[in-house]
Structure 1
């Protein structure tokens, strides 16, 4: 699989790179110069999807990405951001899915990104694990506040497509069943360690033609590094049960001549609804490694062994 291949992104009219540049980790690159170096390397390699969010680094991700892209031909790349979740200076989260908050976020994003349009805008992280008892109210506000604003801006040509982005599969599925969203960004539930999204969400996306971008295929570390001492899982030290399962998956990969990281990156793409994988790259060298992983040969026998041995519960289709 060629990471730079561009494939139709559902009915949105967009052409999506198989490998995207994730702005969450990109914001951690060494300042504006570091971000520009990664963006330049991605561009030279032929990658054309750049993803960010108002939340990442308190908005610095949008600002730095905008500076790195502002001299590029706007029609030559696809740009996505997210609205609704924000990082405050004290490190706490703020959520605002209101109409006024959404409108203000889009105005700010356009200015930070030095553009007059956004190809993709995702409503960000409307999930119970973040909202607790406020989840139902936030879910309702996303549909009654944020979504109508984004649909109006889409009709005006300011936004190309409107989607939802989060880690948990079932709140995404709920939103898709209740409103006409164009796309999904999923950051979990279809990795070598977790396959919950394969049960209902991804089959729904296949059936409805809803295109999916998959983020965080490495579970923020362990599926790239393997079960090494200090391996990270979802930003924290990996628990021992996942360390053991990762080691078993890595051993299976080795029997088929495949690295764990290559298998992790390619696993979500087994689903026909998943059009691209978005990965954070903090340096050009890291980008080069990920490009090589995307192009590695993965024998079908590996996937069958992982399923047959129960190391994965199901394979995405």
Structure 2
């Protein structure tokens, strides 16, 4: 699998990344054995980038990923996790806080973007993962999608307090790159005005359906040597399943205007013999500032399918057709 290089840290990262929310039981339960098998299957396909977070299964994803990667060579592995939530044991007989994760671990999530909170979250993640350092550390869900009207206060705390902790961890060498992991690229644009971040992971907003990020922000990242990771390239499923497949859009049912746009994309794909999911995966990689595309991987079959889409040859004429029909903005091909 091809690799790219993170601009500031100089660390290599595979163009396809393993999103570990699934092995934290996102939407469906998986066993420890299934989680181990998924990680091994991705590794056998050449995937060397693995992303997780304390939020995923309330620590379950980090524990499973750490165990699965325990005997893999650390110098071949690119690992990212997130801060912004602390996990506290549930009181006896208290209901599980699933947050979309089936059978989550018995911990309560608590937002904390302070200096002390970030340091504590980082140390806890190291223990769950069984490692001594992280290649990329991201402030998680610092966006309107997650925080609503609480964002303003949390953002200020994160920039004035939490960032200081992340910067110190980077200076100590236990973290190679720091940034945000969010659902809205606008939060990253604002954060660049506030602090010296190296990278950003953007979910659901660097896609064939949602690509306003390419109007100005990708150029700004290239100018500042800030690396991007594009997560959730299928917009929660609809770009994988297609207009007739009842795939979700932003974790909910797709509205009619989105379905109409997907139908249009499918028409162009049919003209050029390109599977829609292949175009969805490869689109962000047209931009040099994008270093990897992160996809949920929970089974050998799905991993092979994702890798197949990633490797599918797409002619330059296809991308030009998408530009001509205003599905994507002009971009240099090749």
Shift of 1:316: 5.0
Shift of 1:301: 1.4
* Aligned residue number for residue 294 of structure 2: 278
Unmatched 5+ stretches in structure 2: 89-95, 100-108
Shift of 1:200: 2.3
Shift of 1:229: 4.5
Q: Distance in 2 between matches of 1:277 and 1:184?
A: 12
1:193-230, Cα deviation, whole Å (9 max, x unpaired): 11111122211111111111110000110000101252
Superposition pairs of residues 296-315 of structure 1, within 5 angstroms: 296-310=312-326, 312-315=327-330
* Aligned residue number for residue 12 of structure 2: 15
* Aligned residue number for residue 39 of structure 1: 39
* Aligned residue number for residue 154 of structure 1: 170
1:253-310, Cα deviation, whole Å (9 max, x unpaired): 0100100000011111111100110110110110001111111111111122122223
Q: Distance in 1 between matches of 2:296 and 2:87?
A: 19
Asked if 1:109 corresponds to 2:106, the answer is no
1:117-156, Cα deviation, whole Å (9 max, x unpaired): 1111001121123323322211111112211111112222
TM-score normalised according to structure 2 size: 0.89
TM-score normalised according to structure 1 size: 0.94
Deviates more, 1:148-157 or 1:23-32: 23-32
Q: Secondary structure at the match of 1:137?
A: helix
Q: Secondary structure at the match of 1:147?
A: helix
Q: Distance in 2 between matches of 1:102 and 1:37?
A: 31
Would the alpha carbon gap of residues 87 and 219 (structure 1) be closer, same or farther in structure 2, given more than 3 Å must change? farther
Superposition pairs of residues 74-85 of structure 1, within 5 angstroms: 74-85=74-85
1:138-190, Cα deviation, whole Å (9 max, x unpaired): 11111122111111122222212111111111111110122110111111322
Would the alpha carbon gap of residues 315 and 219 (structure 1) be closer, same or farther in structure 2, given more than 3 Å must change? farther
Q: Secondary structure at the match of 2:291?
A: strand
Superposition pairs of residues 287-298 of structure 1, within 5 angstroms: 287-298=303-314
**How big is the alpha-carbon RMSD for the aligned residues of Structure 1 and Structure 2?**
1.7
CA contact (8 A) 1:167 1:187 kept: yes
Q: Distance in 2 between matches of 1:139 and 1:241?
A: 32
CA contact (8 A) 1:303 1:315 kept: no
Q: Distance in 2 between matches of 1:86 and 1:292?
A: 37
CA contact (8 A) 1:56 1:87 kept: no
Would the alpha carbon gap of residues 127 and 33 (structure 1) be closer, same or farther in structure 2, given more than 3 Å must change? same
1:79-120, Cα deviation, whole Å (9 max, x unpaired): 100111468833466421011211111111000001011111
Deviates more, 1:96-105 or 1:29-38: 29-38
Q: Secondary structure at the match of 2:4?
A: strand
Would the alpha carbon gap of residues 203 and 61 (structure 1) be closer, same or farther in structure 2, given more than 3 Å must change? same
Shift of 1:27: 2.3
Asked if 1:169 corresponds to 2:166, the answer is no
* Aligned residue number for residue 55 of structure 1: 55
Unmatched 5+ stretches in structure 1: none
* Aligned residue number for residue 103 of structure 2: none
Q: Distance in 1 between matches of 2:276 and 2:31?
A: 30
CA contact (8 A) 1:169 1:188 kept: no
Q: Distance in 2 between matches of 1:301 and 1:158?
A: 44
* Aligned residue number for residue 5 of structure 1: 2
